[in-house]
Amino acid sequence: MEPMKNGEDKTIESAMIFDQQTNDQFPKQFIWPKDHLSQTSTEKLNGDVIDLQGFLSHDEDATLLAANLVKESCLSHGFFQVVNHGVDLDLLALAQEHGRSFFKLPLTEKLKCKQKEGSVVGFACAHAQRYREQLPWKELLTFEYHENGTDEVAAEFFNALGSQYKETGLIFQKFCRSMNKLALDIMELLEISLGVDGHKHNYYRQLFEDAVSIVRCNHYPQCNNPELTYGVGPHCDPNALTILYPDQVGGLEVFVDNKWKSVQPNPDALVINIGDTFKALSNGKYKSCLHRVSVNRYEPRLSLVFFLCPKGDKELKAPQDLVDKYGRKEYPDFTWEEFLQFTQKNHRADDKTLDEFTKWLLSSKKPNA
């Protein structure tokens, strides 16, 4: 979809719509079409809650049980939740509190850290700086986390906003460190679940040890006409692994067995989504989670998200024994920088992103006729 001009004006316009809603006319740029992915969710997604305590304490039987549960979920739809995950629940609550406080600030204050053109970092409203239509009903604050010895990047991001954000920066620095550790642990569990030969060599963990991940606070304002729009439309995440901590309002929905099912919030659990990058790294064996977010007529919703992403120039390919096991290589080698730029400039993330990226990548690397 064609990028927008005058991004700051569009951001302000969208934010004002959230603050000045009327029941008379819903803004057309937020209306989503009715198609095969717009059916209403009428069922709850049960199960898929995995206890990580035994795995994290290196219990062999518990690890195999967790790996089998992960495998079952990832073969089906690429979604599961984890409990006893090692992330301090009080820290998660504090991060949510500080995220919520940020979105309560006046728009002029939030715009001090607005996203710059071509960057994913900063404050944005409805991605209005990038798109003209089918805008998501949300505000977002995004920053990066570097796992390379300079893990104070979160604190530095908030400190740049002013001394009053020092505590917020320290909290999110701890949040990022904890989420990154969990993400690498889950990479190890995914490797075990796939039966990668010699998993003790940690093929996936090593691939992400110098990750440059994306961290996001999503705020979904109350909406007078929630049936016309989405907080986030149907899509698969392009990154490798997503860890989500939502509040208790609800709204996350996952596409399972050709129908949308709602995810019931669990205050003790973290939500895990397999992304397109890991689908490729599993040689297509595991599914990338197709999901969306509905909005609420009566109250706002907040979620904290950690998108595990490899370093931009890291070559990404499935382990050779997975390729050998299934007889063919499903996806070409690529870098995260190539995939990210594709989603920023060429294709809006949806349920076909990985396939479209593969076509684009192969065509762009063909020798000139």
The stretches of 121-275 forming alpha helices (DSSP H) are 153-159, 166-194, 203-207
Is there a contact between 197 and 320 (Cβ–Cβ < 8 Å)?
A: no
Is there a contact between 89 and 268 (Cβ–Cβ < 8 Å)?
A: yes
Closest by CA to 92, choosing from 182, 2, 4, is: 182
What pairs with residue 196 in β-bridges? Answer: none
The stretches of 84-159 forming alpha helices (DSSP H) are 89-103, 107-110, 153-159
Strand extents, DSSP E, 279-327: 290-293, 301-308, 315-316
Active site residues: 301
Write the CA distances from 64 to 59, 75, 82, 138, integer angstroms: 9, 16, 15, 39
What distance in Å separates the CA atoms of residue 264 and residue 160, rounded to the nearest whole number?
Answer: 36
Whose tokens are 């500080």? That residue is 98
